[in-house]
Amino acid sequence: MSVPEPPPARPPTWRDDDAPVAAPPGPWTPVRAVTCATAVCLVLVVLGVLMARPDVAVLAAGPLVLAVRALRSRPQGAVTVALEASDADPDARGGAGNLHGTLHVAGPARWATVSTTRQGRPAADVLVRVEGERLLAVVARTVRTGPQEIATADVQGVGPDGATVADPTPAVTRTTVVLPATTPLLELPLPQRLRGLTGPHESRRPGEGGGLRDVHPWTPGDRLRRIDWRVTARRSPDLSELYVRREHAQAEAVVVLVVDSRDDVGPDPRTWRGSVAPRPQDATSLDRARQAAASLARAYLERGDRVGLDDLGVRRRPVPPGGGRRQLDRIRHALALTAPEGEPAARLRPPRLPSGALVVVFSTFLDDESAGVAARWRDAGHRVVAVDVLPRLRESGLYDRERLALRLMTLTRDDRMAELVDQGVELVTWRDEPAVALRVLARRAQRRAGAGAPR
């Protein structure tokens, strides 16, 4: 975290929830050095008078006068502090990276000491000049998504010449919501059946807008502009029968993103028990799931498809499938607020999905719950893609028994995911070139999109 030089001072514009915090009313107290120096000077003056040594008294009179002058000119009033998030900065709201905030310090202090911490860790200690008001830019680096603390600041005013200090202000803190960033994806898998009467993909149903389906004799209801005069001249030179070109209809894909928020584990297995929090510089499995879901949502929505969002860990109303830029914003905000909420209740049946939807499940697959739900969706006829979001694990520093437990867990997880593949669920590991794996899934079927749709 750094505290760079801010732009020129401007009048503070605090919102209702960013009201400045002032120190409790109280006197400005002298610092310990001034108190000790004043006491020594008084002792020297008394000794000079008692011992008839005017030189000693004169030697102590000068510093004593300066100390008294500093105490008489100490400021009056309290120091106010406010910390607000910078809404205008794209990084503060648009993805993991730099979080920006602005610290407002105002009051009669000439100087102020600012101590900042983030997530309980010391960040920066600086001495800044106030002179009525000062705006400080606060920048924090993060790899996490979701609700994030920008910083916690403690401020103490310092009077002229550093002779007096004000009472410390109460600690001020500010949080912001970091939306998951997106990764560019080129080719994406499609569901086995396409829906709708229009869209970006060519279906197998007859209609308009797609490629050539066949050439058929003209029937009542066919448009005259679809007459193929070359085929008609070749097959019916006397024009006793007309032939028209029939096309495939355009359709859209419906994609449902399902995030398993029950697990939020980091790359260090020793933090999985919950007694020790993951390090702030380590992205957890839920951070990867948010990024993966946001990337797929953006890629499908840019292609004109409809995307919805559901959560396996929390029973709340899902985000229904929709399209457009506002749908992407809605999904990213819902992903940012996705978090484990206590002990999840066991599901008797998987969530209901639209017919023919492509289901993408983002999970660590550390237990049978998410794998069982994905398998039931595959048995119901949906095309299911399982995205493994478990981070690359760090085994250094583990004891032998911890290493053995991790090995057993890894073998069980590998067997569970291999069983999913045997049941027809397609697997993608997000930590290993996800764009390439998704392209392979998109090209795996050697038939045109929507081949499973009825004619």
How high is the pLDDT of residue 398?
Answer: 86
The encoded tokens of residue 58 equal 């004169």
**Whole-angstrom Cα Rg for the chain:** 34
Q: By the 8 A CB rule, do 453 and 253 touch?
A: no
Please give the single-letter amino acid code of residue 22.
A
Q: By the 8 A CB rule, do 363 and 370 touch?
A: yes
Other Cβ atoms less than 10 A from the Cβ of 105: the count is: 25
How high is the pLDDT of residue 330?
Answer: 94
Beta bridge mates, 155: 114
The per-residue pLDDT string of the chain (455 residues; one tens digit each, 9 = 90 and over) reads 544 444 444 433 334 345 565 555 556 777 776 777 777 777 777 777 777 777 767 767 767 777 777 677 777 888 888 888 875 333 434 345 788 888 999 888 888 889 998 877 888 888 888 888 899 988 888 888 888 888 899 998 888 777 778 888 888 988 888 889 888 898 899 887 766 555 555 545 555 555 565 676 877 777 777 777 787 788 878 777 888 777 655 557 889 999 999 888 989 988 888 777 788 788 899 999 999 999 999 999 988 888 999 998 887 888 999 888 899 999 999 999 998 887 766 666 777 888 888 999 999 999 998 999 999 999 988 999 999 999 999 888 888 998 999 999 999 999 999 999 999 999 999 988 899 999 999 887 544 444 444 33
Q: By the 8 A CB rule, do 191 and 242 touch?
A: no
Listed residue (325, 314, 322, 332) closest to 357, CA to CA: 322
The encoded tokens of residue 345 equal 């209740």
How high is the pLDDT of residue 412?
Answer: 94
Cβ neighbours for 267, distance < 8 A, ≥ 6 positions apart: 278, 282, 391, 392, 393, 394
Structural fold of domain 254-444? Rossmann fold (3.40.50)
Where is 387: in which H helix or E strand? strand 383-388
The strand order across the sheet containing 21-22 reads 21-22, 80-85, 98-107, 132-141
Categorise residue 199: left if φ over 0, alpha if ψ from -120 to 50, beta otherwise.
Answer: left
Listed residue (333, 373, 331, 334) closest to 351, CA to CA: 373
Beta bridge mates, 206: 248
Tell me the HSE value of 202 on the side-chain side, using a 13 A CA sphere: 10
| 0.75 exceeded by pTM | no
How high is the pLDDT of residue 39?
Answer: 76
CATH topology identical between 1-25+78-178 and 254-444: no
How high is the pLDDT of residue 197?
Answer: 52
Q: By the 8 A CB rule, do 64 and 40 touch?
A: no
Length of the chain: 455
Other Cβ atoms less than 10 A from the Cβ of 147: the count is: 12
CATH for 1-25+78-178, options being 3.40.50.2020, 2.60.40.10, 3.40.50.300, 1.10.3720.10: 2.60.40.10
The DSSP code for 243 is E
What are the residue ranges spanned by the domains of the chain? Answer: 1-25+78-178, 29-73, 202-251, 254-444
